[in-house]
Structure 1
Amino acid sequence: MISAGDPSRPIGRSVRFRPMTAPFQTGLFFLPSIGTRAEMERGMAGRDPALYQEMLGDLKELAIVGDDLGYDAIAFTEHHFHIEGFEISNNPVLLDAYVAAHTKRIRVGQLGIVLPASSPLRVAEDIAMLDHMSGGRAFAGFARGYQRRWVDTLAQQYHDVHAAPSKSRDEEVDRVNRAAFEEFFTIVKLAWTQDTFSYTGQFWQIPPPDIPWDLEATARMGRGAEGGFVREIGVVPKPLQQPHPPMMQPFSFSEPTIRWCARNGVQPILAPVNDELEAFLFSVYHEEANTAGRNLAPGEGIGVLRDVVVADTDEEAWELWRNSGAFVGAAWFSPFGFGGAIPWPGEDPKSITPEVMHERGLMWVGSPATVRRQVEQTLERLPLKYVMAWQYNGLMPRAAIAKSMRLFQEEVVEKL
């Protein structure tokens, strides 16, 4: 059987499934990207059908490797119009269904569907279908949206709803975006948990008034119609997992959002932030969740995002990361304000180099021994129970990613 780390042969199915034995669970997060750095820099990589086919092949094979190695989950973003090639995930539920068809036990989900730019009823339907198609392996990830090019375009039917970028925060834009997100979230949960329901909010009225409906079949075999009009609707199918699939939210680090997640049974995945803020948000989540009656242990129900690149040597791992995580971060995420919460209070943001982030354990890059030390240092200060490990398909060779996943599991996680 071919090793997942063998760069000269196609990736094959591993001989055996290895259950995770770490103090935390690890998921795999893919944007996913399309093409190598050189192919992106030539321009318009997102419109290249051949590169898209390569991307699908990478995702399928790496999902199989993750499934066999015992990773908990695989997740994709939602973004649109990415002609640049960085985030080619306009329908993460379809990507979930694709990899679920090739795997046996790994959970599949989104980080996340941007609710303010979506129809909450369609979202509820799609994730419920995914839950059935995957045999109860779906989880739902919901986000507020920060990229104005596509959120403002797709959300234009909801007047005054815009993306809420962290770099140039407008209080009114943020307020309306948050209101839309919370209303749409409420509708999704109602659709999953109620056989029929009605709802009147700021953005949605379900059902609209005065829809005529006098079918005898509904009177005999359904419900929701009264006096010849639709009074309630019901969404089908009902999810396979009850009362609904688990829920996550990426990649927040504001106290109001973390408290909202804790009250609503949502697992936030924190973006990399300074250790003081990270510890505070873990504490806030635990406090708010227990106040809401959830009775969680410290660290339970919350997770973190980390770049994870493991190779035989530190030098090899850093070279892989420079053409993947470093490239994406500088070209795409820094302009949107990501990384703004990494400096300590009063610290000059310009002093935050990759070496500083590495020293502080905000990116796990290196040989197995180096990454194991980083993980151990993180566990000493944080009751960590869940990690989303960022994987850079396309920007790293498929075999290098598979090897990194194997080394992280076998030489880091299993030896903690």
Structure 2
Amino acid sequence: MKASLFYLPSIGSRAEIEAGMAGMRGDLYQRMLRELSEQIRLADELGYDSVSFTEHHFHIEGFEVSNNPVLLDLYFAMQTKRIRVGQLGIVLPAANPIRVAEDIAMLDHMTGGRACAGFARGYQRRWVDIMAQQAHGIHGALPNQHDEIDAANRAAFEENFRIVKKCWTEEMLTHEGKFWRIPAGPTPWALDTTEKWGKGVEGGILKAVGVVPKPLQKPHPPLFQPFASSESTIRFCAKEDVTPILPAMHPVHEEKLYSVYAEVSGRPKGAGMGVLRDVIIADTDEQAMALWRDSGQFAGRAWFEPFGFRKGLADPATGRYPTPEEIIAQGYAYVGTVDTVLRAMEASQRRQPVDWTFCYTYNALVPHDILMRSIEAFWTKVMPRFQ
């Protein structure tokens, strides 16, 4: 199994966020960069496989201040030697796919082939509706809501995804789709230089373009998609050789998605898949639970549950949600002492082995010194059991 640190970079403690408008404070952003630098350098030295950042915009509240994951990738890659850097993920329906392909290819070269590529669909309408406004009819799509908004979002995501892959793998790019035409129409291009030393022109008219640079890794960096919770997404990932990262969900839903991925991909169940887990290791279970209340549970109630992310944990027969203690015992969160986390991870792997664990760190919400010790303990005392 491989382990990755996952950051939705918070820039304040619970108290600082509850004071209001934490996202506006430059001092907190500077502190976040300093602390993440130390944490990621530690992860690099220990042997963690990768680190990943999300994409969100306008987060004045102080959660998920991560508007450009590729730029964060480069910043931290320049401070490390071997750890991979990636995105979970760039929101493709709100992006220009050619720019995305160029940016990740540049990142791959600048890091010596350490880039991963992660793509998401986008669910927060406050920013997706604004950033995607030139793609007619594209809005943020909430998890578990399969309606016209979801269908349009998915169509834009899949078309943009295929354009990105074509940018990376085809010498010259053409495309005719619902959202993009490449070239955009009959474009005059009579430059003699292109005729002599380039390609893509016929009779003075542009017929194709070449996207450069191509990634250093061939055919392209490893592909990931967070946080897959629908059968349609899992089927897409299996067909496109994308590693889906599943959030915590009830075994009924979990079993179905693992089975679908195995069926479509032709791999054993769990192969090529990953899970997202809260990870907090402390000296006692009580201390870890207290830290989790002010980080994972606080952020969950304030920021994630309103978008429907908790629904997947409910028992489909009774509607009952597991208690925090049951979540840990069943391996849906790795919170407690080393022994407790070992038991939780064993429970998760017994139920369904996977290739990747993405460790949700809750930086700033968990004090930096405690998080440094937690990152070290997970790699040195827990992961050896599963590698």
TM range (shorter): over 0.9
The within-5 A match list for 1:9-158 is 24-158=1-135
Residue number among 349, 358, 363 corresponding to 2:333 in the alignment: 363
1:387 partner amino acid: T
Query: What is the alpha-carbon distance in structure 2 between the residues aligned to residue 338 and residue 42 of structure 1?
Result: 25
Q: Which position in structure 1 is the counterpart of 2:235?
A: 259
Q: Which position in structure 2 is the counterpart of 1:3?
A: none
- CA deviations on 1:81-121 (whole Å, 9 max, x unpaired) are 00001010100000000010011111100000000000000
The within-5 A match list for 1:367-386 is 367-386=337-356
Following superposition, the deviation at residue 352 of structure 1 comes to 3.0
Q: Which position in structure 1 is the counterpart of 2:293?
A: 322
Following superposition, the deviation at residue 279 of structure 1 comes to 2.4
Following superposition, the deviation at residue 60 of structure 1 comes to 1.0
- CA deviations on 1:317-339 (whole Å, 9 max, x unpaired) are 11111111111001000000001
Q: Is the 8 A contact 2:332 2:348 kept in 1?
A: no
Q: Is the 8 A contact 2:329 2:347 kept in 1?
A: no
Query: What is the alpha-carbon distance in structure 1 between the residues aligned to residue 79 and residue 124 of structure 2?
Result: 31
Query: What is the alpha-carbon distance in structure 1 between the residues aligned to residue 126 and residue 316 of structure 2?
Result: 32
Q: Does 1:192 align with 2:163?
A: no
2:280 partner amino acid: V
1:346 partner amino acid: A
SS at match of 1:63: helix
SS at match of 2:311: coil
Residue number among 143, 149, 153 corresponding to 1:173 in the alignment: 149
SS at match of 2:188: coil
Q: Which position in structure 2 is the counterpart of 1:289?
A: 265
1:211 partner amino acid: T
Q: Which position in structure 2 is the counterpart of 1:308?
A: 279
Q: Is the 8 A contact 2:104 2:115 kept in 1?
A: yes
Following superposition, the deviation at residue 226 of structure 1 comes to 1.2
Query: What is the alpha-carbon distance in structure 2 between the residues aligned to residue 95 and residue 404 of structure 1?
Result: 22
SS at match of 1:243: coil
5+ long unaligned stretches in structure 2: none
Moved more, 117-126 or 340-349: 340-349
The within-5 A match list for 1:182-261 is 182-261=158-237
2:106 partner amino acid: M
Query: What is the alpha-carbon distance in structure 2 between the residues aligned to residue 382 and residue 153 of structure 1?
Result: 39
Query: What is the alpha-carbon distance in structure 1 between the residues aligned to residue 350 and residue 245 of structure 2?
Result: 19
Query: What is the alpha-carbon distance in structure 2 between the residues aligned to residue 162 and residue 298 of structure 1?
Result: 33
Q: Does 1:277 align with 2:282?
A: no
Query: What is the alpha-carbon distance in structure 1 between the residues aligned to residue 344 and residue 142 of structure 2?
Result: 31
When normalised by structure 2's length, the TM-score is 0.97
Query: What is the alpha-carbon distance in structure 1 between the residues aligned to residue 222 and residue 355 of structure 2?
Result: 16
Following superposition, the deviation at residue 297 of structure 1 comes to 3.7
Moved more, 279-288 or 305-314: 279-288
Q: Is the 8 A contact 2:274 2:357 kept in 1?
A: yes
When normalised by structure 1's length, the TM-score is 0.91
Query: What is the alpha-carbon distance in structure 2 between the residues aligned to residue 414 and residue 386 of structure 1?
Result: 14
Give me the identity figure in percent.
54
Q: Which position in structure 2 is the counterpart of 1:19?
A: none
- CA deviations on 1:232-290 (whole Å, 9 max, x unpaired) are 01111110000011100000111111011000010000011012321221221111001
Query: What is the alpha-carbon distance in structure 2 between the residues aligned to residue 71 and residue 82 of structure 1?
Result: 28
Q: Which position in structure 1 is the counterpart of 2:314?
A: 343
Query: What is the alpha-carbon distance in structure 1 between the residues aligned to residue 227 and residue 249 of structure 2?
Result: 10
Q: Which position in structure 2 is the counterpart of 1:163?
A: 140
Q: Which position in structure 2 is the counterpart of 1:387?
A: 357
2:8 partner amino acid: L
2:252 partner amino acid: E
Residue number among 366, 370, 377 corresponding to 1:396 in the alignment: 366
Count of residue pairs the alignment pairs up:
386
Q: Is the 8 A contact 2:173 2:211 kept in 1?
A: no
Residue number among 332, 336, 350 corresponding to 2:303 in the alignment: 332
Query: What is the alpha-carbon distance in structure 1 between the residues aligned to residue 21 and residue 183 of structure 2?
Result: 42
Moved more, 176-185 or 278-287: 278-287
Query: What is the alpha-carbon distance in structure 2 between the residues aligned to residue 345 and residue 298 of structure 1?
Result: 22
SS at match of 1:341: helix
Moved more, 206-215 or 376-385: 376-385
Moved more, 110-119 or 270-279: 270-279
Following superposition, the deviation at residue 69 of structure 1 comes to 1.2
Following superposition, the deviation at residue 412 of structure 1 comes to 1.5
Query: What is the alpha-carbon distance in structure 1 between the residues aligned to residue 298 and residue 137 of structure 2?
Result: 34
